[in-house]
Structure 1
């Protein structure tokens, strides 16, 4: 049975791992570095998590659960205060970094995010002809803000991954989401144009694919 000090050490290790995984990537953060940052021995880290992969699994699980908790608070209260909780910034950056490594675990995490988004969407009055695409694209747009941290930092002249730049980033996103960028007429015209394009492709039995960004 774990003592209170064991549980505290486990949390310190997890928090240190999330910080280093975010900063250096999974491959760049060593067991020794994480243990040192947490103020524990490498042996104690292995006692709690077994290996770096086991530690990463625990970090992923905790981060996703915490984000889900914040999302649930938003759904139940209708306010977004929880979405900008003090730990939200660090967790968002960690999850994006985890997704960037292209691993099956990262893909599974995004799928879990989409599934939770679909559950959230079902509780709202938002209208969409394709709920899964709606939440998947919305999730990718939100994560893109953190993926492009360096570019946004250069454009705004301050680090958007730290305070107060992060607040400036979130404020801008709130202003964007709080008001429509298209009139109902413009949106309707665009949707009809998409429908016509889709019908023409079906009629020609053709297909179009977005060009790959790969250099291969």
Structure 2
């Protein structure tokens, strides 16, 4: 997290809200506590965001912009040598882990994860262009599943994708043994 003196009041409020929503949940966080952490008055918080709901939505929008900026940096080759996009994203999102983890548990994750799923769909489409094997399921089925995967499962899948348990040949053999699912190519 950036030091408070380096941020505008609006950004300090948002950063404090990300911290409080992550630690205490949406219902447990108070605008008074958020304002106190940000070093502003509750009135200034209301001036900038209007309501606690609007503040939480601004937090989601900020994290979506952050993920998109990471994606842009990766595409521009701006990720430090020896680092990959996943590591860069995890580093950038590290201060917000509690917020991201609490979001699905409290049912307010949809906008954030929809934004991440949108990027994931693009990444899948780009990966398909370079694949040498036929996907097990069509793009629409994979997009739908990928777009509705909760954060913990997404991390598990990421680990499996980045360290495959099966060779493409072994996966093809198992796929053939199982038979192709309906709607696959």
Give the TM-score normalised by structure 2.
Answer: 0.72
Match of 1:69?
69
Larger Rg: 1
Alpha-carbon shift at residue 37 of structure 1 (Å)? 0.9
Greater relative CO, 1 or 2 (CA 8 Å, sep 6+): 2
Match of 2:48?
48
Match of 1:144?
152
After superposition, the C-alpha distances for 1:40-98 in whole angstroms (9 at most, x for unaligned) are 1111100110010111111111111111211232344383253243x321234423322
Match of 1:82?
88
Whether contact under 8 Å (1:20, 1:29) holds in the other structure is yes
Q: Does 1:114 find its partner at 2:117? A: yes
Whether contact under 8 Å (2:19, 2:96) holds in the other structure is no
Match of 2:164?
180
Structure 1 residues 121 and 113: CA distance shift in structure 2, 3 A: same
Alpha-carbon shift at residue 185 of structure 1 (Å)? 2.9
Which structure 1 segments of 5+ residues have no match? Answer: 149-172, 200-216
Whether contact under 8 Å (2:13, 2:34) holds in the other structure is yes
Give the TM-score normalised by structure 1.
Answer: 0.63
What's the RMSD between the two structures over aligned residues? 3.1
After superposition, the C-alpha distances for 1:138-182 in whole angstroms (9 at most, x for unaligned) are 9837x207999xxxxxxxxxxxxxxxxxxxxxxxx76x5543211
Match of 2:138?
130
Q: Which of 165, 173, 177 in structure 2 is aligned with 1:189?
A: 173
Q: Distance in 2 between matches of 1:194 and 1:102?
A: 35
Q: Distance in 1 between matches of 2:60 and 2:140?
A: 23
